[in-house]
Amino acid sequence: VDLEERLRELDLRSDLDIPDVPPPTDSTPEILKRALSGLSARWKNWWIRGILSLAMISGFFLIIYLGSFMLMLLVLSIQVKCYHEIITIGYRVYHSYDLPWFRSLSWYFLLCVNYFFYGETVADYFATFVQRREQLQFLIRYHRFISFALYLTGFCMFVLSLVKKHYRLQFYMFAWTHVTLLITVTQSHLVIQNLFEGMIWFLVPISSVICNDITAYIFGFFFGRTPLIKLSPKKTWEGFIGGFFSTVIFGFIFSYFLAQHQYFVCPVEYNSETNRFVTECEPSELFQMKKYSVPPLLQAALGWETVNMYPFQMHSFALSTFASLIGPFGGFFASGFKRAFKIKDFADTIPGHGGIMDRFDCQYLMATFVHVYITSFIRGPNPSKLLKQLLILQPEQQLSVYKTLKSHLVEKGILQPSLRG
């Protein structure tokens, strides 16, 4: 047996089995190439990255303008693309592109998990829409059972597809799929949950991460001297700290502007009459100006005694801090991953930047953080979810709950005791 082939079979400690990655193909569009043909390679790269950054940011603004539904679709497409990118890397690493069934099974699991998560969230927000349609009612009521049955089918198919010579590869791909699902799909659903809370909870975190990326890069470019971490040699402490302060200031200012518009601040609701998403409400306390006394330390620096701010700006401080200090760890994780599997970029989707995952690697932790932050510090339980659960109780239970609630509301003066008739 050929030595190369034998070695390929795996001493897992060595890297001999990882194929050398072909140099990334240059997927820059022709038009850009012509425009920049005069510049040196270093500046050319800088310009390509810059142009693409602007293009992505504009695209982002456009989608925001188009509304929540388009945003949801965008998040879903990004999730599918990220999943595809990571799974493709797995195939390449394990030479397992031809494993029986595996491609179908990966997509099937993606579908199952998405079905489960969308069912959980959609059911909550579309409660009135769902109430009216009998078939949907059935799907909602037994949603967990149906999702579990679908997942089990996939699991049994996997077991039945195990082929004698490929057991280990198949298990690797199975685990790879599940970890990828855990990372990409849960994050994307948390992003959508945050979005429903109010577009500002979607925009400010994402923008903070992007801002941190860009400003850390710029600070590093101009002032970078001390390396930050061996994993990513291009990152520097100057970039890190400069990025931190810029992001915090950016977060403050950006929240200030967004907090003024109902479009961004109100929870997204589904209006059953018009069959559209609406963002209209009485802005909550978070988005009403308040006077804050400036701490004496800063008073001398700023010259003011009090300042008018939105309470949300305090929260934006926490969000920006997380984006600058912990968000980069997501980036280091992805860098380590790329080094471990000897790839330069996740894919070639975006010229100059790499794959979609390369852009979103710092966002993972952010989405979860924002979600946990909201549930812990901002809002209590979700009213629509509560309502949904109330409506599936048994009639006697509903009646007893109704009576308890009524007496509570009357006691608190929220409900006036009504007279007969």
Partner 1 sequence: LQESESESKLDGETASDSESKSEFGSSSPAPTSDDTPEVLNRALSNLSSRWKNWWVRGILTLAMITFFFIIIYLGPMVLMTIVMCVQIKCFHEIITIGYNVYHSYDLPWFRTLSWYFLLCVNYFFYGETVTDYFFTLVQREEPLRILSKYHRFISFALYLTGFCMFVLSLVKKHYRLQFYMFGWTHVTLLIVVTQSHLIIHNLFEGMIWFIVPISCVICNDIMAYMFGFFFGRTPLIKLSPKKTWEGFIGGFFSTVLFGLLLSYVMSGYRCFTCPVEFNNDTNSFTVDCEPSELFQLQEYNIPVVLQSVVGWKTVRMYPFQIHSIALSTFASLIGPFGGFFASGFKRAFKIKDFANTIPGHGGIMDRFDCQYLMATFVNVYIASFIRGPNPSKLIQQFLTLRPDQQLHIFNTLKAHLVDRGILGSLEDA
- Taking the least distance from each CB to partner 1, the nearer of 2 and 30 is 2
CA triple 391-276-188, angle to 5 deg: 80
Taking the complex as a whole, the smallest distance from the CB of residue 112 to partner 1 amounts, in Å, to: 14
6 binds partner 1 (CB under 8 A): yes
Out of 27, 104, 271, 398, name the contact with partner 1 by CB under 8 A.
Answer: 398
**213, 136 Cβ separation under 8 angstroms:** no
What CA–CA distance (Å, rounded) separates 64 from 203? 9
- Shortest Å, Cβ 227 to partner 1: 14
* 182 touching partner 1, by CB under 8 A: yes
* 257 lies in the site for partner 1, by CB under 8 A: no
Instruction: Report, in Å, the least distance between residue 291 CB and partner 1.
Output: 23
What is the distance between the alpha carbons of residues 154 and 177, in angstroms, rounded to a whole number? 12
Nearer to partner 1, 55 or 409 (CB): 409
Site for partner 1 in 308-367 (CB under 8 A): 326, 329, 332-333, 336-337, 339-341, 365
For partner 1, which stretch binds (CB under 8 A), given 69-77, 229-237, 272-280, 286-294? 229-237
Q: Rounded to an integer, what distance in angstroms lies between the CA atom of residue 82 and that of residue 186?
A: 12
Footprint of partner 1 on residues 36-55 (CB under 8 A)? none
C-alpha closest to that of 363 among 196, 211, 226: 211
273 touches partner 1 (CB under 8 A):
no
Please give the Cα distance from 206 to 59 (Å, whole number).
14
Runs of H (alpha helix) within 36-142: 41-66, 68-94, 102-125, 127-131, 134-141
Member of 144, 234, 276, 344 binding partner 1 (CB under 8 A): 144
Q: Are 94 and 173 in contact (CB under 8 A)?
A: yes
Pick out residues in 113-142 that bind partner 1 (CB under 8 A). Answer: 141-142
Question: Total residues contacting partner 1 (rule CB under 8 A)?
Answer: 83
375-394 residues in contact with partner 1 (CB under 8 A) are 375-377, 380-381, 383, 386-387, 389-394
Torsional sign, CA 318, 319, 321, 325: positive
Name residue, tokens 């690797």.
172
- The only residue of 2, 4, 13, 297 in contact with partner 1, by rule CB under 8 A: 13
Q: Pick one of 156, 253, 298, 307: the residue that binds partner 1 (CB under 8 A).
A: 156
34 touching partner 1, by CB under 8 A: no
Under the binding rule (CB under 8 A), the answer on residue 148 touching partner 1 is: yes
277 makes contact with partner 1 (CB under 8 A): no
Question: CB under 8 Å, gap of 24 or more: what pairs does 161-166 form?
Answer: 161/100, 161/101, 161/102, 161/105, 163/99, 163/100, 166/96, 166/99, 166/100
Of 60, 126, 155, 223, the residue at the interface with partner 1 (CB under 8 A) is: 155
Structure tokens at 276: 């559209």
Does residue 368 bind partner 1 (CB under 8 A)? yes
